[in-house]
Amino acid sequence: MERGATGPARSFRIETAGRGARAAAACACIILPALALLPAVAGRNLIQELIFLFYMLALAQCWNLLAGYAGLISVGQQAFVGLGGYVLFALTLLGGINPLLAIPLAGLVSAMFALPTALIVFRLRGAYFAIGTWVVAEVYRLVFAQFKPLGGGTGTSLTPSITSSVPGIEWVRTLLDVRAPAARDVISYWVALALAAGTLALVYVILRSRRGLALGAIRDQEAAAAGLGVDIYRIKLAVYVATSAMTGMIGALIYLQKARISPDAAFSVLDWTAYVIFITVIGGIGTMEGPVIGAIIFYLMQRYLADFGAWYLILLGTLGILVMLSAPKGLWGLVSERFELTFFPTRRRLVAKDEDCHRA
């Protein structure tokens, strides 16, 4: 680019954290312990609502990684929510395994199912890929509806012996002086918090790694990324399997907490895909902060508007369309462009050392 003239030698360094990120890191150090200690003061209702917020946030982070970064727009992730739930039920009811242990096992099984699923579904592109994932989810639903040991089409419940075998219930009972069902909710709350934080952390680590740089490139310009030697297929496969595993674990937690499962609920497009997509799109797809914002907004909307039934869903659909058309980067996109903020610093910035200029 230089035209013959030589300038002073410059050294460059790559920076990721900005001022917003440092503030956010500080906040996280405060927020996380505060959330962990919350059960000491919060009522059971709030705990249950926060469980919902945390697992929806975790699901949204997974979907965002899949669709916003890897470009795999799936409307079939409910397959793994349901699979995770059913695996938990199978392991505990039929296999006698401890419920908390069953959660990571459910993630493992989900990964095992995700691999062959991907090999078939990856033959489709774009919107056809999306519908293909939906078909797969339907297949899972129909198969589990035939599985009589877990209740077939009507589903089944966890027995009291299982729900009371969740480790730590006694400890929480005595510590917080609550009854057993509330104690179980507190344990679920901590697991949900751990899953949400863990998902955020895992997504953050992935995006900051070299693979993450590749994902950012895929997100921005897939063809160019391929031209630079990024192995698109393998990365997409890895992301699909990883997010499906996480989704499976989240599904296991969800149904441990609900203690009752049925095929229609576990594989519901509305609950596990439509709402998740809404959260991610409203908040801001392709960023980590977006789903956080979106989850909070969605939680508030669910809390105050869900009673309006069909009208509420019409509102959600309309809002989603409006945001997609007028603010495709979501609410966080509007904010972060205006104020140049980032809380989860995953973008690399090239900083030239001898000049005081920063280019994001």
Partner 1 sequence: MTAWLDALIQGVLLGGLYALFAAGLSLIFGVMRLVNLAHGDLIVLAAFVILVVADRLGLDPFVAVLIALPILFLVGFALQHVLLNRTLGGDLLPPLLVTFGLSIIIQNGLLQIFSADSQRLRVGAMETASIPLGGGIAVGVVPLLTLLSAIAVIVFLNLIFYRTAIGRAFRATSDDLEVAQLMGIDHRRIFAMAMGLAFVVIAIAALYLGLRANFDPSIGPARLLYAFEAVIIGGLGSFWGTLVGGIVLGLAQTIGAQIDPEWQILAGHLAFLAVLAIRPRGLFPRAQD
Q: Which of 85, 132, 283, 330 binds partner 1 (CB under 8 A)?
A: 132
Cβ neighbors of 292 (< 8 A, separation 6 or more) are 57, 200, 283
Q: Which of 35, 202, 269, 351 binds partner 1 (CB under 8 A)?
A: 269
Give the interface size with partner 1 as a residue count (CB under 8 A): 41
φ, ψ of residue 108 to 5 degrees: the values are -65, -45
Restricted to residues 68-97, the positions that interact with partner 1 (CB under 8 A) are: 71, 73, 75
Residue at token pair 């296991």: 252
State in angstroms the smallest separation of the CB of 104 from partner 1: 29
Is the CB of 102 or the CB of 265 nearer to partner 1? 265
d(CA 339, CA 83): 41
Residue 178 to residues 42, 166, 168, 258, 261, Cα–Cα distance (Å):
12, 15, 13, 19, 26
* DSSP annotation string for 13-32: EEE---HHHHHHHHHHHHHH
Residue 46 to residues 40, 53, 172, 182, 299, Cα–Cα distance (Å):
12, 10, 17, 11, 12
> Which range touches partner 1 (CB under 8 A), out of 93-101, 118-126, 226-234, 333-341?
118-126
* Site membership for partner 1, residue 331 (CB under 8 A): no
State in angstroms the smallest separation of the CB of 126 from partner 1: 5
State in angstroms the smallest separation of the CB of 317 from partner 1: 4
Q: Quick check: 233 and 225 in contact, CB under 8 A?
A: no
* Site membership for partner 1, residue 298 (CB under 8 A): no
Q: Which of 36, 202, 297, 313 binds partner 1 (CB under 8 A)?
A: 313
**Helix (H), strand (E) at residue 358:** strand 358-359
Q: Which of 67, 158, 191, 225 binds partner 1 (CB under 8 A)?
A: 67
196: three-class secondary structure by DSSP: helix
φ, ψ of residue 260 to 5 degrees: the values are -140, 135
Is the CB of 36 or the CB of 226 nearer to partner 1? 226
d(CA 188, CA 219): 34
Query: Going residue by residue from 133 to 162, which x/- string records binding to partner 1, judged by CB under 8 A?
Result: -xxx-xx--xx-xx----------------
Which residues of this chain interact with partner 1, rule CB under 8 A?
67, 71, 73, 75, 120-121, 123-124, 126-128, 130-132, 134-136, 138-139, 142-143, 145-146, 269-270, 274, 277, 281, 285, 310-311, 313-314, 316-318, 320-321, 324-325, 328
